[in-house]
Amino acid sequence: MKKQYKLGVIGGGFMATAILKGVVYSDRLRAKKIIVADPSAKARENLSELGVYTTANNRDVAGNCDYLLFAVKPQTFEEAAASIKGLPVEKVITIMAGVKKEKIKALLFGKNIKVARAMPNLPCSVGAGMTAVDIEDFSEDADDCSFIIDVFGSLGNVLCLPEEKLNAVTGISGSGPAYVYMFIDGLIKAGMQHGLSEDEAKTLAVTTVKGGADMVEHSADKTLDELISAVCSKGGTTIQAVESFRNDDMEGMIGRAVAACVKRAEELSE
C-alpha cells in the first residue's frame, strides 16, 4: 500500500531539525512529503515553519511513511519502539550512537525490517557536516541507497562504512566538533592573555583552523608531518609551540579522549 509520506521522523530535536532543514532547503524532498512526531508543542511549532506535517503521535508517523527516521536519544529508543508496536515498518534510518541494527530490529518486532545507521555531526546544521552511514541492509536496492545518501548529502559530506566502524566514527567525527571547539577556545583565551581582544583572537583562531583544515584537504601530495614542518623553521617561533605540544603528549591526550568516547558508544551497544 502506497504511503502518504516519503520520510517520517520520530523526534524533533536539534539534529532532526538540522536534517530536515537540509533536506527541505536543498529541495531533495518536498516538505509536504515529510511528517514528524514530537511530544513537545514548541518543537512541533518550530518544525511546522519548514512546511512539514507534525504530530504528537508516533503511530501517525510510523504507519504512513516509506522511510522511518529515529532521531531520539539511545536511552529512549526502547520506549519509542514500543509506541509503534504492530505497525508495518519496513525501512528504518537511525542516528542513534551505539544502538546496533540487531537491537533495533528486535525492538521493532520485525524480521524483514531493513535498517540504515547514520552518524551525523553538529556542523550538519550549517551544511558543513560529516555523516558516516551504514547502508548494507539496502545494498540490493539502488533507489533506497540513493535516497538515504541524498538525505545526509544535503547536510555536507557522506562516507559509507560498515556498522562495526560506527563507534569509531562517533569518537572522531560524531563527537569531534566538541574537541575542535575546545581547541579554538584555548587559542582565543591564549590570544587574550597576550593582548588581543576576544573578537580579534576569535577571528584569528577560527580562520586559522578553517584554513588549516582546507589546506589538509587540498594537499593530498603532502603528509601531515610535512605540513607541520612547512610551518616550522629551525630556531623559529612555531617549533617552540610544537615542541611544547609534543612534550605535553598532545597526541596521547587526543587518543585517550577518543578512546573514552568510543568506549561509551560500545557501552550503549550492549
Domains of the chain: 5-164 (3.40.50.720), 176-269 (1.10.3730.10)
pLDDT of residue 247: 97
Q: Are 69 and 93 in contact (CB under 8 A)?
A: yes
d(CA 154, CA 108): 28
* Distance separating alpha carbons of residues 29 and 67, to the nearest angstrom: 12
pLDDT in tens, 139-187: 999 999 999 999 999 999 999 999 999 999 999 999 999 999 999 999 9
Residue % of the chain over a pLDDT of 70: 99
Q: Which residues pair with 144 in a beta bridge?
A: none
Could you tell me the three cell numbers for 35? 511528517
If phi over 0 gives left and psi between -120 and 50 gives alpha, with beta otherwise, what is residue 156?
left
C-beta neighbour count of 124 within 10 angstroms: 24
82-101 tens-digit pLDDT: 999 888 899 999 999 889 99
Span 30-41, mean pLDDT?
95
Say which DSSP state 158 is in: E
